[in-house]
């Protein structure tokens, strides 16, 4: 593919930012070169951030060749992640706040949890889990609101060597049971209810429904959040607060091998149901700690706030593991940006004197749309750095973030990475790089991006080029396998472009050699920064009795980035109606969760298919984008006339 990529407006870092930063331009160049030419030495040194029980001797042992993929870092070393995130800070900074918890409602009091308190709570939770029969290697599902107990649960698992798998509290009972069964979990940790935006989600009731479809050996540990009514199944359900009150605060950390799994996180792919991304212990924590410190220019005394939910990888790496490994103060927010009103984020920044603020472009766009009055009443002078994650940021949103929130003084790190990568792979570093609105700019240390020609897989050298984005060499935070399905891991990431990790994203390298992520090149869509497989929504739709066939694509959406556009063919005899549209929407919400709610549903008498029966999504995407002037070649369609009907009745005429 040829480029023509303009090297757009560039904002060099201010002198103040450079003076403060851990890494300036010269240091980046020197360290980056060293990380590529001698990764063994580089990553051996970086592993010094972490306390090892038994030091490793081999740094890396990696094979990316299809059929043989195996990724190992520090593999003869042992350590414990909870000891690194909690215990080692108790002596040096025991009275420092580890977690500032800000509740959903501004009328409820925030909590300041010190490293000492954190240690006690994590040990108690760990002992409660042990008493429920959880031991090293067992899986524990965490289905929780954004409350401190969610972090305690993660760290308690890490402490005893159990593998946690967090299911976002917005997911449905069906999604939850699929993950409990997929990971063969022993325990589900949940809460009575999850308050968000002034409303309570009945988490325990959802868990009850999910557990009807799971082995009756699975236990349910219930944390009290609201005190709301829940039904109780004796022998299966356990009251966390009662057990923790009795539990010992002494729980020695388990000695874990660097390659023992730390967590599984289910994420959407282009085909089939979500897959369990597996991250392991040593490499993940080294990478999370390093990227947290360097990308965000974290220094002692800073107050770091990542607004993600712990149900996503961003919450794992940059609310809990990265910041706590660095002995930081991390903010955990239970609420939403727009409740009680659109000043909530900025009120919290003001109240807790936040220094680094990290959020998603979709939130920025939504808040920008509410007007500046919501920002003006808040003192944002504590902010030193801003960040974004999850999707490309459009220049309007970037400019607003820069001008209105950062007052033109805060560098913005546009961090590109994935559930699979454990931590940032590309981002400008605040003191080292200029920023360009919408560009992820430069690879992080040790990351060797390659731009490939999509069909031939050949490397495209030089600048001002575009293609698919692969990574040539491993880094410590890389996922190791798909839980229970190593073949799927190889197939998904190492088969299309041999010898490389395939990211699923397209990218441009501009005339200056800076990187721009152009979005997914597969059937994954990105709705409000949440990743979703079109196949998942399709399979939810066809599971409805009145639906014969469905095809789902993304389309541009002002706030969400992408919206969900569904083409639905009904069973013979079924009549389309507004009511049925509503019914399908509710159906998909209940099958997957509210984040998968279809935005537009078009009744399709037929779908455009090739003669071999493949749905031509390219055409459906174009129609959904209202760009049917450029449909391309339709001559291979079995029945080209279906396209005219779809264009005529398209739902997005804007
Ligand atoms: C961390 C996270 C990963 C996908 C990724 C890409 C998109 C993430 C981005 C970005 C452009 C950025 N993405 N960050 N696109 N600029 N700064 O979001 O993980 O939920 O697995 O999503 O999100 O398409 O492939 P995950």
Burial bucket for residue 545 (CB in 10 Å: 0-12, 13-18, 19+): exposed
Q: What is the DSSP letter of 124?
A: H
Query: What's the confidence (pLDDT) of residue 1?
Result: 41
Helix (H) or strand (E) holding 554: strand 547-557
Q: Is the CB of 445 under 6 A from ligand 1?
A: no
Give nearest CA residue, ligand 1 atom 17.
Answer: 416
Q: Which two tokens stand for residue 146?
A: 């954004």
Task: Map residue 405 onto helix, strand or coil.
Answer: helix
Name the packing angle between helices 203-211 and 173-183 (round to 10°). 50
Query: What's the confidence (pLDDT) of residue 3?
Result: 43
Q: Is the CB of 502 under 6 A from ligand 1?
A: no
Give nearest CA residue, ligand 1 atom 22.
Answer: 418
Which of 490, 454, 613 shows the shortest CA–CA distance to 71? 490
Task: Map residue 588 onto helix, strand or coil.
Answer: helix
Query: What's the confidence (pLDDT) of residue 568?
Result: 96
The rounded Å distance from CA 315 to ligand 1 centre is: 13
Identify the residue whose tokens are 């407006």. 9
pTM to 2 decimals?
0.93
The rounded Å distance from CA 429 to ligand 1 centre is: 18
Q: Which two tokens stand for residue 443?
A: 């690879």
pLDDT digits 0-9 by tens, 598-612: 999 999 998 988 777
Nearest atom, ligand 1, residue 526 CA: 23
Q: What is the 3-state secondary structure (H, E, C) of 432-448?
A: CCCECCCCCECECCCCC
Architecture of domain 528-649: 2-Layer Sandwich (3.30)
ipTM value, please give it: 1.00
Give nearest CA residue, ligand 1 atom 4.
Answer: 418
Mean pLDDT per 10-residue segment, the chain (654 residues): 59 96 98 98 98 98 96 98 98 97 98 98 98 98 98 99 97 95 98 97 97 98 96 97 98 98 93 91 98 98 97 97 98 97 98 98 92 96 97 92 97 98 98 96 98 96 97 98 97 96 96 94 91 91 92 94 96 94 96 95 90 81 89 76 92 86
Give nearest CA residue, ligand 1 atom 8.
Answer: 390
Angstrom distance (rounded) from CA 477 to CA 455? 29
Residues annotated as binding site for ATP? 390-392, 414-419, 505, 520, 531
Residues annotated as binding site? 196-199, 314, 390-392, 414-419, 505, 520, 528, 531, 542, 544, 547, 589
Angstrom distance (rounded) from CA 170 to CA 336? 13
């Amino acid at each position: 593919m040829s480029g023509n990529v303009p090297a757009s407006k560039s904002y060099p870092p201010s002198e103040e930012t450079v003076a403060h930063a851990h890494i300036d331009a010269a240091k980046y160049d020197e360290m980056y070169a060293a990380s590529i030419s001698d990764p063994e030495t580089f990553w051996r040194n970086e592993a010094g951030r972490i306390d090892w029980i038994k030091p490793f001797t081999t740094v890396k042992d990696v094979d990316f060749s299809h059929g043989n993929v195996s990724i190992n870092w520090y593999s003869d070393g042992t350590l414990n992640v909870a000891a690194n995130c909690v215990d080692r800070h108790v002596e040096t900074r025991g009275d420092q706040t580890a977690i500032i918890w800000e509740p959903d409602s501004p009328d409820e009091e925030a909590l300041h949890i010190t490293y000492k308190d954190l240690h006690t709570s994590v040990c108690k939770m760990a002992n409660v889990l042990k008493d429920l029969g959880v031991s090293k290697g067992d899986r524990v599902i965490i289905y929780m609101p954004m409350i401190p107990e969610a972090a305690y649960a993660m760290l308690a698992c890490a402490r005893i060597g159990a593998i946690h798998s967090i299911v976002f509290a917005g997911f449905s009972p069906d999604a939850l049971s699929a993950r409990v069964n997929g990971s063969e979990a022993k325990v589900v940790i949940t809460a009575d209810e999850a308050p968000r935006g002034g409303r309570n989600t009945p988490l325990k009731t959802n868990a009850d429904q999910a557990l009807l479809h799971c082995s009756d050996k699975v236990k349910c540990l219930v944390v009290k959040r609201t005190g709301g009514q829940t039904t109780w199944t004796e022998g299966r359900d356990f009251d966390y607060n009662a057990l923790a009150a009795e539990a010992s605060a002494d729980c020695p950390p388990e000695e874990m091998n660097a390659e023992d799994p730390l967590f599984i996180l289910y994420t959407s792919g282009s085909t089939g149901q979500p897959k369990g991304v597996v991250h392991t212990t040593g490499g993940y924590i080294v990478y999370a700690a390093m990227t947290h410190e360097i990308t965000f220019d974290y220094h002692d005394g800073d107050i770091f706030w990542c607004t993600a939910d712990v149900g996503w990888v961003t919450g794992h790496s940059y609310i809990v593991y990265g910041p706590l490994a660095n002995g930081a103060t991390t903010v955990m927010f239970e609420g939403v940006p727009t409740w009680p009103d659109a000043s909530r984020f900025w009120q919290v920044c003001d109240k807790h004197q936040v220094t680094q603020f990290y959020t998603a472009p979709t939130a920025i766009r939504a808040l920008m749309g509410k007007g500046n009055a919501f920002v003006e009443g808040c003192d944002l002078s504590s902010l030193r750095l801003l960040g974004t994650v999850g999707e490309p940021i459009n220049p309007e949103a970037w400019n607003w973030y820069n001008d209105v929130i950062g007052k033109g003084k805060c560098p913005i790190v546009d961090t590109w990475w994935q559930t699979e990568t454990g931590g940032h792979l590309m981002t400008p570093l605040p003191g080292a790089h200029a920023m360009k609105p919408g560009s992820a700019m430069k690879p992080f240390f040790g990351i060797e991006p390659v731009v490939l020609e999509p069909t031939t897989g050949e490397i495209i050298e030089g600048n001002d080029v575009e293609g698919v984005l692969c990574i040539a060499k491993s880094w410590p935070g890389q996922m190791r396998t798909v839980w229970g399905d190593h073949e799927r891991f190889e197939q998904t990431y190492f088969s299309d472009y041999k010898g490389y990790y395939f990211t699923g994203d397209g990218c441009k390298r501009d005339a200056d050699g800076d990187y721009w992520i152009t979005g997914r090149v597969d059937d994954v869509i990105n709705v409000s920064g949440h990743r979703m497989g079109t196949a998942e929504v399709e399979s939810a739709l066809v599971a409805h009795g009145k639906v014969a066939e469905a095809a789902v694509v993304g389309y541009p959406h002002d706030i969400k980035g992408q919206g969900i556009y569904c083409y639905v063919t009904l069973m013979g005899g079924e009549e389309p109606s507004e009511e049925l549209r509503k019914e399908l929407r509710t159906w998909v919400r209940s099958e997957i969760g509210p984040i998968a709610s279809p935005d537009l549903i078009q009744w399709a008498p037929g779908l455009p298919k090739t003669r071999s029966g493949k749905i031509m999504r390219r055409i459906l995407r174009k129609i959904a984008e209202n760009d049917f002037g450029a449909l391309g070649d339709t001559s291979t369609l079995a029945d080209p006339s279906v396209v005219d009907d779809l264009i005529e009745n398209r739902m997005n005429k804007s």
